[in-house]
């Protein structure tokens, strides 16, 4: 385990940073058997005991959520329900954070994890983890839009990286397509469809890298990832 601040190490037991600081100040934390009251001390988590027990959880947590519309991809919000509110209370205080964000009206796969390194690599455009979305849009999509997405769509402030568009239904009343891209800037998919003259009517995320949204999860439902799913994600990120 890397060297971290003592208060950070204590949060591994599921405490918030301020709860960890209070526990340290109260003398409940020992490093190599000695009580320490300096939260800034540099330690390895395995040297630390909180109330006599190692603060390290059984392991990192990896959870998939099928986000419904109206829920925000954040750990807290003063007005609206968050993806963490979809979990039972025992899981809400474990330091889970979402990997990337979906807009409030966008549904589908959100990965929550305590594994910061994996989260970072899945989000970073440098690692090119593919995000897959099912998009419903106005009007009839054609091969012209497939080509435009493949070339990279120019938006007002940047040019989107080439993306794959796979047409599923195309009609004058609207179309359905899967879109695969390796970056995730603010409102990116919506902006790309608007730029080619087909504003979105619905958007749902189906996959992140090798991870697929479980079709058995209804809106608002969640489950832990299987060992195989975690291994595939780590392999995709060379971890
Ligand atoms: N693109 C969007 O426009 N919104 C999202 O939530 C995700 C991708």
Confidence tier at 163 by pLDDT (50, 70, 90):
very high
Going by CA atoms, what residue is nearest to atom 5 of ligand 1?
102
Examine the domain organization and report whether 203 and 215 are in the same domain.
no
The radius of gyration of the chain from alpha carbons, rounded to an integer in Å, stands at 21
Task: Say what the pLDDT of residue 44 is.
Answer: 85
3-state secondary structure of 37: coil
Name the pTM for this structure. 0.77
Going by CA atoms, what residue is nearest to atom 4 of ligand 1?
187
What are residue 54's phi and psi, to 5 degrees? -65, 135
Examine the domain organization and report whether 32 and 99 are in the same domain.
no
* Ligand 1 atom at minimal distance to the Cα of residue 103: 6
Examine the domain organization and report whether 35 and 153 are in the same domain.
no
Among 103, 155, 179, residue to substitute to test ligand 1 (most atoms within 8 Å of Cβ): 103
3-state secondary structure of 72: strand
Q: How far is the CA of 185 from the centre of ligand 1 (A)?
A: 8
Is the confidence at residue 194, as pLDDT, over 90?
Answer: yes
Residue 72: CB atoms within 10 Å: 20
Task: Say what the pLDDT of residue 126 is.
Answer: 82
Examine the domain organization and report whether 229 and 182 are in the same domain.
no
Q: Which residues are catalytic?
A: 103
Whether the CB-CB separation of 36 and 24 falls below 8 Å is answered with: yes
* Ligand 1 atom at minimal distance to the Cα of residue 187: 3
55 belongs to a structural domain: no
Examine the domain organization and report whether 73 and 178 are in the same domain.
no
Examine the domain organization and report whether 92 and 186 are in the same domain.
no
56 belongs to a structural domain: no
Q: How far is the CA of 97 from the centre of ligand 1 (A)?
A: 18
Q: Count how many domains the chain has.
A: 3
Ligand 1 contacts (CB < 6 A) are 102-103, 106, 184, 187-190, 203
CA distance 95 to 93: 6
Q: How far is the CA of 105 from the centre of ligand 1 (A)?
A: 9
94 belongs to a structural domain: yes
Give the percent of the chain with pLDDT over 90.
76
Residue 193 is part of which domain span? 130-208
Examine the domain organization and report whether 80 and 26 are in the same domain.
no
Examine the domain organization and report whether 163 and 184 are in the same domain.
yes
Task: Say what the pLDDT of residue 58 is.
Answer: 58
Reported as a single tens digit per residue, the pLDDT across 41-69 is: 999 887 888 877 777 555 899 999 999 99
**CATH number, domain with residue 225:** 3.30.70.580
Examine the domain organization and report whether 35 and 152 are in the same domain.
no
Going by CA atoms, what residue is nearest to atom 7 of ligand 1?
102
Examine the domain organization and report whether 221 and 192 are in the same domain.
no
Q: How far is the CA of 188 from the centre of ligand 1 (A)?
A: 5
């Amino acid at each position: 385990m890397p060297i971290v601040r003592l208060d950070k190490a204590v949060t591994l037991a599921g405490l918030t940073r301020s709860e960890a600081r209070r526990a340290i100040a109260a003398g409940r934390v020992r490093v190599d058997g000695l009580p320490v009251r300096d939260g800034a001390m540099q330690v390895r988590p395995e040297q630390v005991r909180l109330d006599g027990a190692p603060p390290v959880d059984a392991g990192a947590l990896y959870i998939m959520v099928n986000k419904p519309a109206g829920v925000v991809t954040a750990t807290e919000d003063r007005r609206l329900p968050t993806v963490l509110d979809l979990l039972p209370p025992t899981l809400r205080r474990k330091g889970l954070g979402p990997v990337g964000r979906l807009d409030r009206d966008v549904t589908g796969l959100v990965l929550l994890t305590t594994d910061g390194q994996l989260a970072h690599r899945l989000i970073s455009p440098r690692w090119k983890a593919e995000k897959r979305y099912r998009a419903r849009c106005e009007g009839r999509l054609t091969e012209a839009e497939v080509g435009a997405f493949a070339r990279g769509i120019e938006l007002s402030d940047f040019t989107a990286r080439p993306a794959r568009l796979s047409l599923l239904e195309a009609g004058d009343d609207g179309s359905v397509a899967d879109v695969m891209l390796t970056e995730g800037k603010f409102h990116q998919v919506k902006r790309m469809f608007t730029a080619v003259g087909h504003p979105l009517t619905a958007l749902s995320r189906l996959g992140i890298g090798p991870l697929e949204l479980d079709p058995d999860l209804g809106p608002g439902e969640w489950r832990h990832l299987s060992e195989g799913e975690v291994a595939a994600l780590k392999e995709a990120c060379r971890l």
